[in-house]
Structure 1
Amino acid sequence: MTPASASSRAEEPEPRPAPLDWAARLSGRMGRVKASEIRELLKLLDQPDILSFAGGIPDPALFPAEEIGAAVQRQLADPALAGQALQYTVSEGLPALRRWIVERMGRWGAPCTEANVLITAGSQQALDLIGKLLISPGDAVLVDRPTYLGALQAFNAYEPAYLDREEVEAGAAPALGYVVPDYANPTGASLTLAEREALLDLAEARDFVLVEDAAYRELRFEGEARPPLLALDIARAGSIEAARTLLCGTFSKTLAPALRIGWICGPAAAIEKLVLLKQGCDLHVSTLNQLAACEAVQEGYDQHLSRLRLAYRAKGQAMCAALARHMPAGVTWTEPEGGMFVWLTLPEGLDGAELLARGLATERVAFVPGAPFFATGAQPNTIRLSYSLPTEAQIDEGVKRLARLIAGP
């Protein structure tokens, strides 16, 4: 072998191993985990010429930023307080914040103690923890048609089968039922008192757990709120420990989403197990955020809620008025009593996803197609509109664009 050939062979690179096939390593449950169409649509908010009715995003002008900022500064300015604020805390959540929630639940007609409350990273984590606790592969879950897309995403990883109300009334027995009784996402609809009692009757008859999503409960436009399912359940059962309802609450729609603070309220036997699951997930919600939220709600919270309700009522009324002015014949919509959403049913033959693609290209208006909100039997001729973020003038202009789009050439 010549010196030149020896040098050439020495410079040949070593063969590299084949890249790992990650798709082949995924668990079977990942086949049911899909991207959120809403999260993708939120990226459009950075395009200033698009009028968006897509995400159910609180109006940032209504955030109590000054109060939250002052609370954080007070915590960090004092060395002793800062030591607590930046430290680990108990998985159940700060006792002071849980005591405030206990008082709030009492005002809602659901007497409980701190042992009945777990602080979570928003109500979205609450749904995931509940799914992990109660859903085994193949278990049936009762949901409305349509229902909150985030709940389907949380539950899908635990491989359930979905049932609607008619199937359960006909005799099917789910492991749990999920419902948004007040100003629901996506429809804006609310259950009457009789409908709440009938749902509890059904849960008792089929012996399943009820999961009550109370994310929008505090955003009623006017009048007295109807009692939550948990309150009605406690009245029947005699105490929260004998109830079959888990209530999921959140500050994301009333204080600020970035705090990522929600809670689960229910029987202590369930809360104890959920605490164990949270420990394995993230140990606890940010101590600093819990302290800031706790301070922000101690004084003036009801006045802050009144401000939110007035603002969202004006926007909701502007949305319904604009729909009445501009929509062509054949379009129907809900008229919510609170919350952030209106649900449109389009004439047969129109597809919400196709309409969105044309709307972005031609009218520069965004919304959420309705089909993803259905666990089964999707209705493509539906769309969800959120009025929480745009101004009243933008609402009218956006609805006008949408009406032109629906009417067609």
Structure 2
Amino acid sequence: MQWESVLATRSSRMKASEIRELLKLLDQPDIISFAGGIPDPALFPVAEFAKAMADAMTPARAEAALQYSVSEGYLPLRQWIAAEMARIGVPCAPSNILITSGSQQALDYLGKLMITAGDTVLCGWPTYLGALSAFNAYEPLFEQLSPKGNVSAADYEARAAANGGRAKFAYLSVDFANPTGETLDRRAREQVLDLAAEMEIAIVEDAAYQALRYDGEPIPPILALEIARCGSIDAARTIYCGSFSKTLAPGLRVGWICAAQPVIDRLVLMKQAADLHSSTLNQIAVAQVAEAVMEPHVEMLRDPYRARRDHMLAALDREMPEGVTWTRPEGGMFVWLTLPPSLDGAELLAASLETERVAFVPGRAFFADGSGGNTLRLSFSCAQPEQIDIGIARLGALIGRALA
């Protein structure tokens, strides 16, 4: 069978995730990995999930837990999420919530819902690799989003039209973004809203790391700022994607979309066609654990993650040669390094794995146009202090030799 003859043209745009491939290195005990942006499994609320799963499997509840369910998601979980959204400035109803299999499925659905081949997506330079992968299958053109207003709405619209489509949405992660760790200030969030209104496009707000703030004051989500302008979620153009992966556990694959009712109604049809509904058992367990321990659990997470971030920043200050710069995130899991232009992150990774046994993610994969070769992403979430000291010292020495 010559499979290329029957595959859709968009399949050629699908590529293996560099991060997923690098995660395989975690099985090698001598590798110091700053690659995967994954939560520390030692911090999972294991006992709480064991109890929740056991409770769900009692005779009185097992029938519902193991049966087909509604595509919108488990109602008590959607009620809990709606209350949480209201707490961060987004008053909404459970009917404004759709449960997804992680926020990655949410991104895929939104790409499928809004992108026609040739349309334009505005995004950061760099931006989350998983979003690029999800949207790329639907054959868009990517344009660099400039929240500070460096590109006019007319310019974006003209370039989109020249490509044979129109701009459909702006995608951005505004808090401790993957990969840079940077946070968009309130003024820039308002400017994104202004741009989207002028262009009559949607905004996809990826809030996967929003709860993991270690310093500074919280900034309202874009959706909250928009509701303050327009009066209700059903009048809003912003679509908020949330996740329990970074706060409770990623393996259960429970995320959500919060949006205007017409958007949710379309997404429910998409969910029905794709997988009917997310795991009922997992949703029941997440609802029970979130209700019981979410606030103290997230508060507990902040201390070790803050300490690891601080340890990595101190090690970078100590070990990196002149000419290397990096971000200083207020939360999340990542530090973003910019190397001198003469260095290439992918080549550096190959050398690092061979001689230093230190893994990280080269930055080029996070740029829609393949630029950013002299950048890389470090994750501190699973690294212990001794590993950080040794790994950053090795990496600094390797960069220093490459620059010599």
2:138 to 154, 158, 164: 158
What is the aligned partner in structure 2 of residue 144 from structure 1? 124
**Which has the larger Rg?**
1
Q: Aligned partners of 2:33, 2:343: CA distance in 1, in Å?
A: 20
Asked if 2 retains the 8 angstrom alpha-carbon contact of 1:359 and 1:365, the reply is: yes
In the other structure, the counterpart of 1:24 is 5
Aligned twin of 2:381:
388
Give the length in aligned residue pairs: 389
1:224 is displaced (CA, Å) by 3.1
Find out whether 1:325 has 2:318 as its counterpart: yes
Q: Which amino acid is 2:270 matched to?
A: L
Structure 2 unaligned blocks of 5 or more: 158-166
Letter in 2 for 1:62: L
Task: Please report how far the alpha carbon of residue 399 of structure 1 lies from its aligned counterpart in structure 2 after TM superposition.
Answer: 0.5
What SS does structure 2 have at the residue aligned with 1:152?
A: helix
Q: How far apart are 1:377 and its partner, in Å? A: 5.3
TM-score (norm 1): 0.94
Secondary structure, in 3 states, of the residue corresponding to 2:204? strand
Give the superposition deviation at 1:111.
0.3
Give the aligned partner of residue 201 of structure 1.
194
Aligned twin of 1:13:
none
CA RMSD of aligned residues (A): 1.0
Deviates more, 1:267-276 or 1:370-379: 370-379
Q: 1:222-266: CA deviations, max 9, x gaps?
A: 343100000001111111011000000000000000010000001
1:245 aligns with 2:238: yes
Do structure 1's residue 279 and structure 2's residue 272 form an aligned pair? yes
- Paired residues of 2:175 and 2:210 also in contact (CA < 8 A): yes
Is residue 369 from structure 1 mapped to residue 353 from structure 2 by the alignment? no
CA distance in 1, matches of 2:304, 2:144: 34
Residues 64-112 of structure 1 show CA distances to partners (whole Å, capped at 9, x for unaligned) of: 0110011101111x21201111111100000100000000000010000
What corresponds to 2:252 in structure 1?
259
Separation in 1 of the partners of 2:346 and 2:216? 36
Distance across 2 between alignment mates of 1:24 and 1:359: 40
Name the SS for the 1:264 alignment partner: strand
Q: Indicate whether 1:112 and 2:57 are aligned.
A: no
Which of residues 98, 106, 109 is equivalent to 1:129? 109
C-alpha separation between the residues in 2 aligned to 1:169 and 1:267? 24
Q: Secondary structure at the match of 1:162?
A: strand
Q: How does 1:2-17 map to 2 (within 5 A)?
A: none
Q: Does 1:44 align with 2:37?
A: no
| Contact 2:334/2:380, CA 8 A, preserved across alignment | yes
Conservation of the 8 A alpha-carbon contact between 2:216 and 2:330: no
Q: 1:309 and 1:364 mapped to 2: Cα distance?
A: 28
Letter in 1 for 2:130: G
State which drifts further: 391-400 or 252-261.
391-400
Secondary structure of the 1:299 match is helix
Q: TM-score, normalising length from structure 2?
A: 0.95
**Is this contact kept in 2: 1:176–1:209, CA < 8 A?**
yes
Structure 1 segments (4+ residues) deviating >6 Å = none
* Cα contact 2:35–2:359 (8 A) shared by 1: yes
Alignment deviations for residues 96-136 of structure 1 (CA, whole Å, 9 cap, x no partner): 00000000000010000011000000000000000010010
| Aligned equivalent of 2:70 | 90
Distance 2:399 2:377 in 1: 14
Given candidates 234, 242, 252, the residue that maps to 2:227 is: 234
State whether residues 142 and 168 of structure 1, in contact with CA within 8 Å, keep that contact through their aligned partners in structure 2.
no
Determine helix, strand or coil for the equivalent of 1:176.
strand
Do the aligned partners of residues 366 and 280 (structure 1) sit closer, same or farther apart at CA in structure 2, a change above 3 Å counting? same
